[in-house]
Structure formats: structure tokens, C-alpha cells
Amino acid sequence: MPISLAGKPIVITGAGSGIGRAAALACAGAGMPVVLTGRRREPLEAAAREIEAVGGRAAALAGDVTDRVHCGAAVALCVERFGSIYAVFANAGYGVECAAHEMSDADMRAIFETNFFGTLNVLRPALPVMRAAGRGHLLVCSSCLALLPLPYYGAYCATKAAQHHVSRAMGVELRGSGVWVSSVHPVGTRTEFFDTADRRSPKRAGLMRVGASDRFLQPPERVAKAVVRCLRRPRPEVWTSHAARLAFEFAAMFPGATDAALGWMVERRRRAAERGERGGA
């Protein structure tokens, strides 16, 4: 039997845009009170108003997931405002396009602080409340790239793999406690990810964008629906494309061939970018 989500509160990080915002609206639509957190106050409050306008319950709290005090405050707000906390969707994160050997220690540590340690910062204060209640669900937004190290996105892929492995390990460690743990693996999604990566990255070839068609990107609402389905019927992993999962698992079985294909892709897109720059000069 599916779990009824009505009245079960959730905290969502990175909820001001993209997957996080779509998940907040979808969870609210399923009857869940939602605490939205993120770095920008205005979009959080706008999403909260949208939820309340259709009869849902929501609260917004601006802050950064690298701040453990903020994450603890988000969990405390959820308990105070809605009486408990049933779920967390750790979604905040960003990408950077840069060769791993050229990335500074500071930049490498920064992406891990947000993507990986930011995840732990929000899961840890929520878990004792859930265990005391004997029920709960921790969801972590990893990526399809947790299984495929993409050139020039090695740091991002490493954080996503770390999220995935820790989530799977926690799921076994918490078995029997009533608390589920799930890793969520979106494929390319229409969000601010690419714009943010462009702003944070040195001038590169735009490997994640050149030659890519928007029609191959999934809408964030598809990921949000998958999150709600997982909350209703918990499972260890959530993939928004079974074909992508099979492809990435196949690629992991043949690393030599995969690396050759990725090298060809990088060179092809670099040349396309150079042609575009010459054409615009």
C-alpha cells in the first residue's frame, strides 16, 4: 500500500528554483507541509505564497546549506511550525566546468562543502527526530553522473557519487528504524544548473551545452513527480530515465571504450565551440 503523505512535513533545500521548487510544489500538492530553504529569499517566499494560495502550508527560510546552524534551524522550523518532520529532500548543489588538475583546492573544497557536506548538514539534524518518531524519509538529489565521470566535470561527478554511496550505505545502516533513505538521479534537466556552471567556471568550451538540444532535457516537474512517487513507495534509488540508467551502467562495465567515446565527444564539442567563436568574431 502506498504511504499517505497528507500532513507529513518535508524540508527541501535549494527550493527557490529548478528541481527544488518543482518538488516543493509537488509535495505540497500531495498534502505535505513544506519548509523551503535556499540562498535567495525572494524566490523562496514566492514559491511559499504559491503553495499557500492553493490551500497548502509552507514556510521559507533563507540560508546556505554549508551553514550547519542554518540547516538545524530549518529542521527546527519544520518541527515548530508543522509539529514534526517526516522527510528531507537534500537538493542544493551546483556544477563547475574545469579540468580536475587545474581546479584550485579552494574551489574543489567549495563544491564538496555545498553538494556533499551540505547534504549531511541537513540530514543529520533531521534524523534524530525521525528515529524518535520511528518513521521518516531522507532523499538526496544525486545525479545520473554519479555513475559516469564526465571530463571537465570530475569534481561535480565526484560529489554526486559521494552522495549516492553515502545514501545507499545509510539506507542499510538505518534498516529497521522506520527511516528510508533514497538517492535521486535526474538526467539533464531544464534548470539554472547550466547558467550557474557557466558563471562559476573558467572560460571553457561549454561541454555540457554545445550541440545539446533542449528537447533532450527533462522538465524539473518530471523529477518532482518521481520524488513524490518515491515518498509514497520508498525505494533505494530513483531514476528519471531507465534508458539512461542502463546506458551508464553499461558504460561503467567498459571503461576503456567509454573513455574513448568521451574523448571523442570532448574534441567534437571543443571544435564546434571554436567554430562558433570564429563565426561570431
SS in 3 state form for the chain?
CCCCCCCCCEEECCCCCHHHHHHHHHHHHCCCCEEEEECCHHHHHHHHHHHHHCCCCEEEEECCCCCHHHHHHHHHHHHHHHCCCCEEEECCCCCCCCCHHHCCHHHHHHHHHHHHHHHHHHHHHHHHHHHHHCCEEEEEECCHHHCCCCCCCHHHHHHHHHHHHHHHHHHHHCCCCCEEEEEEECCCECCCHHHHHHHHCCCCCCCCCCCCCHHHCECHHHHHHHHHHHHHCCCCEEECCHHHHHHHHHHHHCHHHHHHHHHHHHHHHHHHHHHHHHHHC
The one catalytic residue among 86, 152, 153, 156:
156
- Is residue 86 annotated as a catalytic residue, yes or no? no
pLDDT at position 236: 96
* Structural domains of the chain, with CATH: 10-280 (3.40.50.720)
pLDDT by residue, tens only, the chain of 281 residues:
899 999 999 999 999 999 999 999 999 999 999 999 999 999 999 999 999 999 999 999 999 999 999 999 999 999 999 999 999 999 999 988 889 999 999 999 999 999 999 999 999 999 999 999 999 999 999 999 999 888 999 999 999 999 999 999 999 999 999 999 999 999 876 555 555 555 555 655 455 554 444 656 788 999 999 999 999 999 999 999 888 889 888 888 988 888 888 888 888 877 776 666 555 54
pLDDT at position 192: 57
pLDDT at position 87: 98
